[in-house]
Structure 1
Amino acid sequence: MPGKVPEELFWLLMELSPLRSEKVIRALKDFLVLGYTRKEVCEKYDVSYGYLSLALKRTRHIDDIVCQLVKYNKTNTCESICEK
Structure 2
Amino acid sequence: MPVSIEPGSIDKNHFHLLLSLTSISSERIKLALEHYFVLGESQRSVCEIFDVNSSYFSLKVRVIQDVSRTVLALYPYYAELYRTTS
Note the alpha carbon deviations across 1:10-63, whole angstroms, 9 max, x for none. 000111111000000000000110011101100000101101100000001101
Tell me which stretches of 4 or more aligned residues in structure 1 moved more than 2 Å: none
Aligned to 1:5: 10
Q: Aligned pair 1:67/2:72, yes or no?
A: yes
Aligned to 1:31: 36
Q: TM-score, normalised by structure 2?
A: 0.84
What's the % identity of the aligned pairs? 31
SS at the partner of 2:40? coil
> How many residue pairs were aligned?
77
What stretches of structure 1 of length at least 5 have no aligned partner? 79-84
SS at the partner of 2:9? coil
Relative CO higher for 1 or 2, CA cutoff 8 Å, sep ≥ 6? 2
Q: TM-score, normalised by structure 1?
A: 0.86
